[in-house]
Amino acid sequence: MQLDDLYRRVIMDHYKNPRNRGSFEGESVSIDLNNPTCGDKIQLQMQVEDGKVKAAKFTGEGCSISLSSASMMTDAVKGKTLAEALDMADSFSSLMKGEPVEFDYEDLEALSGVNKFPARIKCATLAWNALRKGIEQAKQ
């Protein structure tokens, strides 16, 4: 199996079987973002305790890239400090620019091919932009 096929399967698995889809009852940081150019929408919720992302969930609608990225991101940031989560967002931005990046959460590398399709980069980064805003909100 070629790497592109494997990556496509990982992306489709997260799209069809999203991790952390849903919302929290009770207190959480909540961010709503949308991409007006394609119609993707996401609501990210994070439970932050002692400067760490205790848990993250999302709801939304959009393309397979957008929703699989949200699924991967919410899984990847669980248990990370806010600083570590922000570093991951920076690394993801680098990945979208075609720079070589390694993640502890390997599924994220499946999105590395998105940088070949500039119109799709905003789809992949929507959840990560919500994460950045959520971290800002949590720090206040």
Please give the model's pTM, rounded to 2 decimal places.
Answer: 0.94
Average model confidence (pLDDT) across the chain:
94
Question: Quick one: pLDDT at residue 52?
Answer: 97
CATH number, domain containing residue 125: 3.90.1010.10
Domain hosting residue 28, numbered range:
3-139
CA distances from 29 to 43, 87, 112, 123 (A): 10, 19, 28, 22
pLDDT reported for residue 3: 65
* Span 50-99, pLDDT tens digits: 999 999 999 999 999 999 999 999 999 999 999 999 999 999 999 999 99
Considering its fold, how many domains does the chain have in total? 1
Q: What is the predicted pLDDT for the residue at 2?
A: 77
CB 73 within 8 A of CB 128: yes
Taking each helix axis from N to C terminus, what angle separates 3-16 and 64-77, rounded to the nearest 10 degrees?
A: 80
- The single-letter DSSP state of residue 112 is G
Tell me what the mean pLDDT of segment 13-19 comes to: 96
